[in-house]
Amino acid sequence: MRILVQTEPFDATALMQGFGAGAGAVVTFTGLVRDDDGLVALEIEHYPGMTEASLTRHAQAAAERFALSDVLVAHRHGRIAVGEPIMMVATAARHRREAFDAADFLMDWLKSRAPFWKREIGAEGPRGWVVAKDTDEAALDRWTNPQ
Amino acid sequence: MRILVQTEPFDATALMQGFGAGAGAVVTFTGLVRDDDGLVALEIEHYPGMTEASLTRHAQAAAERFALSDVLVAHRHGRIAVGEPIMMVATAARHRREAFDAADFLMDWLKSRAPFWKREIGAEGPRGWVVAKDTDEAALDRWTNPQ
Amino acid sequence: MTLDILYFAWLRERIGAPREQIETSAATVRDLVAELVARGERHAAALSDLGAVRVAVDQVLSDLDAPLGGAREVAFFPPMTGG
Amino acid sequence: MTLDILYFAWLRERIGAPREQIETSAATVRDLVAELVARGERHAAALSDLGAVRVAVDQVLSDLDAPLGGAREVAFFPPMTGG
């Protein structure tokens, strides 16, 4: 298991080196800053200490729930320019269903339970804080209230 | 869109270079040969011509259905040693749900509709052909018969 | 008409060849199968359990009732196991 | 007891500081919020809409009724928007 919280860009290739050795299925998710409405960058604030502890706890929970052989979460904070990766999740399992579901679950959890807050930066300067979406909350509910 | 069908190992890093530029979400799935029951390698046979045509058609279908900005499918054939990647799917979209679902859909389709057949190779030599699983058929049905 | 018939995986092994060319006037895949089965033991054995056989006509997945008018290539193979 | 109070994102901006240390005998988060609101306009404004505020006690997500006995650090922040 590997948890990275950093301001620097991460090197996905280096991170994935040897990841999932022995597994049958590896899924990665990468979130990037989209070029929306003239956005120049995102600025991400986080809660040092709580961030690392909660990412570790939830990566472990995902590993147990989905029988993962490996899991990785990397998340940046600070200023991140349009086009750059913000975060990455990787999961390794014997079969594809578990690898997909674990990555999906970790993303839903990260979106609304990990202590990160985003602010948009335009050419004119900082804009407002990004407001949490109800759909993110609903997405997380899927994992506790299966239909 | 990029479709690769080849015997050589593929370089995931090189393939992913520039993939999904402008997207907010990139998902990759990699399938690897598992070290099951003393397996040494898989041998994959395919239907040259039909393979490329059907992979292209279904990558296009996934791109339309899930509004992908980019999609990649790479699949090897011939002999593939334990631990090596067999195939890879990558999807890029604005949001994570579409990128996840498109990769998931393409994998379900690949497992039971792309013209590939696998044979297991043990230390003692070739074993039998891998039998198609009912669960793979059921997985594909999810996309035509939503619950 | 002249048809290229292709076989893959264990169907190829049972037939003993990856492809053959035949002259046929079969109207459907089902008619073609009947002609092939009549060719001898290997063909009969390979095509005995049609529930375990998939077919593509001109590289498009098809079924036993598919018409063969204008077709150039018919392939028989087991259910696919890719990915 | 002595508590470190942390603020993030727009709560930090409205309070005007990322953290402060206070002496309190508040039994629950709700009691603590009442004490903080009484400190002045900035605190009152930042904590006026508790539906839009999340809380962590000793770095674990919590709620207004959580007891503070033994706690060392309480953080207030908006709903998270990570990933």
Per-residue pLDDT of B69-128, as tens digits, reads 999 999 999 999 999 999 999 999 999 999 999 999 999 999 989 999 999 999 999 999
pLDDT higher than 90, residue A133: no
Contacting residues for C74 by C-beta, under 8 A, at least 6 apart? C3, C4, C5, C6, C29, C32, C55, C56, C57, C58, C68
Instruction: For CA atoms B124, B126, B128, B133, give the dihedral sign.
Output: positive
The answer to whether A45 contacts chain D (CB < 8 Å) is yes
Cβ separation A16–B21 shorter than 8 A: no
Amino acid D23 reads E
Q: Where would I find the H helices in C16-66?
A: 29-37, 41-46
pLDDT higher than 70, residue A145: no
Q: Which helix (H) or strand (E) holds A46?
A: strand A39-46
User: Taking the CB of residue C1, how many other CB atoms lie within 10 A of it?
Assistant: 12
* Mean pLDDT value across residues D23-30: 96
What's the pLDDT tens digit per position in A37-86?
889 999 999 999 999 999 999 999 999 999 999 999 999 999 999 999 99
Whole-number Å distance between alpha carbons of B108 and B142 = 9
ipTM over 0.85: yes
**Residue B145 pLDDT grade (very low, low, confident, very high; cuts 50, 70, 90):** low
What's the pLDDT tens digit per position in D35-56?
999 999 999 999 999 999 999 9
D interface mutation test: which of A44, A47, A108 has the most D CBs within 10 A? A47
Which residues sit opposite A32 in a β-bridge? A85
Q: Which among B75, B113, B129 has CB closest to C9?
A: B129
Smallest Cα distance from D79 to chain A, Å: 6
Cβ separation A22–B35 shorter than 8 A: yes
Smallest Cα distance from A47 to chain B, Å: 24
Provide, rounded to the nearest whole percent, the portion of chain B with pLDDT above 70: 98
Whole-number Å distance between alpha carbons of D75 and B23 = 34
Residue linked to tokens 């990555």: A103
Residue A93: strand, helix, or coil: strand
**pLDDT score, position B147:** 46
| Mean pLDDT across chain D | 96
Smallest Cα distance from C40 to chain B, Å: 24
Cβ separation B26–A30 shorter than 8 A: yes
pLDDT higher than 90, residue D33: yes
Buried-state track C8-38, b at ≥16 Cβ within 10 A, e below 16: bbbbbebbeeeeeeeebebebbeebbebbbe
The answer to whether B118 contacts chain A (CB < 8 Å) is no
**Residue B134 pLDDT grade (very low, low, confident, very high; cuts 50, 70, 90):** confident
Question: Long-range pairs for C44-52 at CB < 8 Å and ≥24 separation?
Answer: C45/C14, C46/C7, C46/C11, C46/C14, C46/C15, C46/C76, C47/C11, C47/C76, C52/C78, C52/C79
Query: Is C in contact with D (3 or more beta carbon pairs below 8 Å)?
Result: no
The answer to whether A57 contacts chain D (CB < 8 Å) is no
Query: Is B in contact with C (3 or more beta carbon pairs below 8 Å)?
Result: yes
Residues of B within 8 A of A23 (CB-CB) are 32, 34
The token pair that represents B83 in the structure block: 């631990």
**pLDDT score, position A147:** 45
* Mean pLDDT value across residues D66-80: 96
**pLDDT score, position A136:** 86
Instruction: For CA atoms B64, B70, B45, B118, give the dihedral sign.
Output: negative
Whole-number Å distance between alpha carbons of D16 and C64 = 75
Residue spans of chain C under pLDDT 70 = none
**pLDDT score, position A19:** 95
**pLDDT score, position D58:** 97
Whole-number Å distance between alpha carbons of A33 and D48 = 32
Q: Where would I find the H helices in D1-83?
A: 9-15, 29-37, 41-46
pLDDT higher than 70, residue B146: no
Contacting residues for D41 by C-beta, under 8 A, at least 6 apart? none
**pLDDT score, position A43:** 97
CATH class of B2-144: alpha beta
Cβ separation B116–C82 shorter than 8 A: yes
Q: Which domains does chain D have, with CATH numbers?
A: 2-77 (3.10.20.30)
Contacting residues for C6 by C-beta, under 8 A, at least 6 apart? B47, C18, C19, C73, C74, C75, C76
pLDDT higher than 50, residue D83: yes
Smallest Cα distance from B21 to chain C, Å: 26
Question: Residue B24's Cα: distance from chain center in Å?
Answer: 22
Smallest Cα distance from B134 to chain A, Å: 15
**pLDDT score, position A138:** 87
